[in-house]
Structure 1
Amino acid sequence: MRRILLTAAVLSLLAVPATAPVATAASPPAVPSDLTSVEVSFRGAGGLAMHGTIITKPAKPTEPNDKTTDEPAAGAGLTGGTAGAGRPGVVLVHGAGTGTPRTKLLGEAVEFARRGMAVLIYDKRSTGYSLIHRSYPQLADDALGAVATLRSQPGVDPAKVGIWGLSEGGWVAPIAASRSKDIAFVVLVGANGLPPLRQQTWAVAAGLRKAGVTGSLIDRAELNLYRTIADGGMFPEPYYDPAPTLAAVRQPVLAIWGTHDLLTPPQESPPVFSRALGEGGNRYYTARFFPDADHAAHLTPDGGVTRLPELAPGYADLVGSWVGEVTAGRPPATSSSGPAPVQASLTVPVDPPAWWESAPAQLVALALFLVAFVSYPVAALVRRLRGRSRAPVTRAVWLLSAGGLVSVIGSFCYLVYLMMTGGKLAAPGPVLLGRPLVWLALQAVAVVSAVATVRLAVAWRRTRDSLGGGQLGLLLAGGAVFVPWALYWGLLLP
């Protein structure tokens, strides 16, 4: 059983009942020898027991006024009153991922601690959080539990504790800040100002474009797949609008983006933050862009695809100096600086689907295809086994049966594969004329199936009253629905 080191204050104020749900605790991180750490537990949303580590730089009592110590200059606290002698603190909030261990943010925690802050990192919840379900307000409550823990830590000035959020944490941290005056400042990295579904479709499309893909696969198929998934309740918080929450944030905000962010649109997000904060009356918004940096403001050698362990030069120093100014009662006025970020393509609006393109409608169409395209071959096999085999009225029945199944099942599997491997690591396979060979093959099969539908319609008019006419009618119905379905998904478009 892991040894949990708790201070008396944490034990008395934040003890977790034995009956509370418990999150899996990762192994405590090993911190560099120039820093110290203490293990803590606290309650998250719903009473979930969560585990974290507070990392600090040892105080130098013989040099209390030396700027290299972790004791900031005295000044007025942002939450009112006079700032104490304790150091500032910051809680780090993870990006997307189930049960992400605290060690994922150890690099940032170490660098911030070396710049005089007490830094709390914690294991992200897996209870109530998954690939298809999550709640940003719930995650914000987890973060607020961590903030309360850090504020109660000896040596930390409770008026100087802020919150830092990466990626998904860029939605979570402002919610927490808008709910609590106990948060003194907000630092955001790789934050997205657009709805999650719009950001995700852009990231996957951008990855495909980077791989040389153009046309209907991006413009129709990938976009419609995400709309269908969201409509089916399998994409969490798809249309969450962060702007109203940002407008409610009153604390100073430092927002950081790498110029090679491939997961969050780095050109479109900053104006959303600036506009929303300004409309809310926040005059202390600082935006900084770091060159040669990726989504997490780490160095990248290849335009954002590979993330190196090192933070972008100057990133940790900026956070340290900015927090020092803010917690000394001198928050910088609104400003923006740094090189322009690289964004090869703009995002596109992703609206909820109409009834005829909704997830239930797609399921009905899929069921029709499976029944229609399989029934004729099965019936033909049964007739053959009974010795009643006869030649089909047209070979188009076999082309439609086989081609329809291949088009429907093949396109679904390929689109899901692209979704799972999309973003900056998109791997669509060999590309010819802007189309992956797999997609070109599926399009060719879809064209054959559409032509077969027309030929079958002509043949069915002659045979609908004869034996097998009903089966041909069902197959034709599948083909008639298949043609607009294939147009909708881009299989019959360039």
Structure 2
Amino acid sequence: MRIRRDGMIWAAIALLAAAPPSLAWAQSPWSVPSDLSVEQRTIIFGNRGATLSGTLYLPREKRPRGAVIALHGAQVPLRSDPLYRHLIDILPRLGWGLFIYDRRGSGESTSGGAAPGNFELLAEDAVAAFARLRREPGLDPDRIGFWGLSQGGWLTMLAAAKEQRAAFAVAVSAPMAAADVQMNFAVANILRIRGQPQSVIDRAVRARTAVDDYARGLRSRSEADAAEADVAGEPWYDQLWLKGNIDDPEWPRQIRADPLRSLRGSRVPTLLIFGQSDPWVPVGASLAALRSSAAELSQVTVKIIDGADHAMMLGIPPLQQVDTGFATRAAPNAPAYFALLGAWLQSMNPGDKATEKSGEKDAHIGK
């Protein structure tokens, strides 16, 4: 197995991210019309009591096109969130359709009465979107797959395990660890970046671990309550992502979710992309876990984007990276990520002979 770090590759593809495909061309005397026409269709579908609304961006060409279904990060539930703009800009230019819908309970999508944070249900929503797109005119039902970043990456792997007809899955910044392990790693970094000493970090992680152990059935409620009470009065308590976990019915289910189990249960070609400088995800531990399971993951390709953070951004100060307010405005800007995403998707496109040689076959986990 080889896990390579990608630098600037295929810069021509990367530059596509800077040019939205449907800009009005007559903005100046020297402008020319675009050579790309993109149709937007509103698609509404249902699943488990919810009505979900989304937009399909589709290049206007006669031959059927493949499509990418975007799954949501925890802080970005709307199709209009900046995180998804690069997909709108890049994918139609490369001949792919893109479907983005408002997550259940957000925007124009109803909740169906479900509690937020149910990973299984959110993945089932993506599978329902997949089934709906297979019937959509202009799409090739055999070339539809999933993309997601952060929590969306977790959901991408889970959706691919549930829907083995998917053509591919792309999971960006998705930890190969349980949610509690990932959050303990993130909280330690949040406190470290904000100048807290190691003694505070250790105390915070101990409190979180006690609550997580209760959720796993390993400690009593009184022990968990006491551990949270020990830190609840501290000025850094709000940075721990701990409040409400004890009584959250979804938290025990989330921490039992195993992304490696989803990968092992899938035969869908899957691209895992990590940022080299991600304070939210234990990338080193994730790579080690993937290596230990290499024999079972022949369908998985792993890439690391040099210098990129959790949102595939370059040049963002660490304090901003761990600011949840910034998360809603984050949008990828790493050229290597754009290039890699475009090249790998084109390698999944058997109808495009010109791009068949672009597949990074030497990076598969099982080799």
Normalized against structure 1, the TM-score is what? Answer: 0.52
Larger displacement relative to structure 2 (251-260 or 157-166):
251-260
Matches within 5 A, 1:309-348: 309-328=331-350, 332-333=360-361, 335=363
Mapping of residues 118-267 of structure 1, within 5 Å: 118-126=97-105, 127=111, 134-225=117-208, 227-228=210-211, 231=215, 232-234=246-248, 236=251, 237-267=254-284
Q: How far 1:100 sits from its partner (Å)? A: 1.4
Q: Distance in 2 between matches of 1:129 and 1:205?
A: 31
Following superposition, the deviation at residue 43 of structure 1 comes to 1.3
Counterpart position of 1:456: none
Select which of 69, 74, 89 maps to 1:96: 74
Q: Which amino acid aligns with 1:47?
A: G
Q: 1:111 aligns with which of 82, 90, 94?
A: 90
Paired with 1:197 and 1:332, the residues of 2 have a C-alpha distance of 33
Which of structures 1 and 2 has the larger relative contact order (alpha carbons within 8 angstroms, sep 6+)? 2
CA shift at 1:312, angstroms?
A: 1.1
Structure 2 distance, partners of 1:48, 1:121, is 16
By how many angstroms is 1:129 displaced? 5.8
2:59 counterpart residue number: 57
Alignment partner, residue 288 of structure 1:
303
AA in 2 matched with 1:53: T
Q: How many pairs were matched up?
A: 278
Shift of 1:164: 0.6
Q: Distance in 2 between matches of 1:217 and 1:129?
A: 36
Counterpart residue identity of residue 142, structure 2:
A
Gaps of 5+ in 1: 1-29, 62-84, 338-494
CA distance in 2, matches of 1:275, 1:156: 38
Structure 2 match to 1:347: none
One-letter amino acid of the counterpart of residue 178, structure 2: P
Deviation per CA, 1:4-58: give whole Å up to 9, x if none: xxxxxxxxxxxxxxxxxxxxxxxxxx965553311100113x1311000011233
Per the alignment, residue 271 of structure 1 pairs with: 288
Distance change (3 Å), C-alpha of 1:300 and 1:129:
farther
Partner-residue secondary structure (3-state), 2:256: coil
Q: Which amino acid aligns with 2:77?
A: T
CA RMSD of aligned residues (A): 2.7
> What SS class does the counterpart of residue 267 from structure 1 fall into?
helix
Shift, 1:303, TM fit: 4.7
Q: What is the identity, as a one-letter code, of the residue corresponding to 2:40?
A: S
Which amino acid counterpart does residue 287 of structure 1 have in structure 2?
V
Of all paired residues, the percent bearing the same amino acid is 29
1:219 shift after superposition: 1.0
Counterpart amino acid of residue 91 in structure 2: F
Equivalent pair of 1:192/1:269 in contact (CA under 8 Å): yes
Q: Is the 8 Å Cα contact of residues 288 and 336 (structure 1) preserved in structure 2?
A: no
Counterpart-to-counterpart distance in 1, 2:319 and 2:86: 18
Q: TM-score, normalised by structure 2?
A: 0.68
Q: Which residue of 1 aligns with 2:40?
A: 37
SS of 1:178's partner is: helix
The answer for the alignment partner of 2:49 in structure 1 is 47
Instruction: Give the AA of the match of 2:299.
Output: Y
- Mapped to 1, the partners of 2:208 and 2:195 lie a distance apart of 20
User: For residue 221 of structure 1, what is the amino acid of its counterpart?
Assistant: A
Taking the aligned partners of 1:263 and 1:207, their CA distance within structure 2 comes to 8
Q: Is contact 2:312–2:334 with CA below 8 Å preserved after alignment?
A: yes
Q: Which moved more, 1:322-331 or 1:121-130?
A: 322-331
The answer as to whether partners of 2:79 and 2:102 remain within 8 angstroms in 1 is yes
CA gap 1:334/1:169 in 2 versus in 1, 3 angstroms:
farther
In 2, distance between residues paired with 1:336 and 1:283? 6
**What is the match of residue 434 of structure 1?**
none
Residues 286-342 of structure 1, C-alpha deviations (whole Å, 9 max, x = no match): 2222223221213333258357645310323322221221231966435179xxxxx
Q: Is contact 1:285-1:333 (8 Å) kept?
A: no
Distance 2:203 2:256 in 1: 19
Supply the distance in 2 between the matched residues of 1:92 and 1:326 (Cα, whole angstroms). 17
Find the residue that maps to 1:213 and give its secondary structure.
coil
Which runs of no fewer than 5 residues in structure 2 stay unpaired?
1-20, 25-35, 106-110, 216-245
Displacement after TM superposition at 1:117 (Å)? 0.8
- In the TM superposition, 1:369-388 aligns within 5 A as none
Give 1:204 deviation, angstroms: 1.1
> Could you tell me how far 1:248 is from its partner in structure 2?
0.9
Whichever of the two has the greater Rg, that structure is 1
Q: Which residue of 2 aligns with 1:411?
A: none
Indicate the SS of the match to 2:344. Answer: helix
Going from structure 1 to structure 2, the CA distance change for 1:88 and 1:153 (only over 3 Å counts) comes to same
Aligned-residue offset at 1:222: 3.7
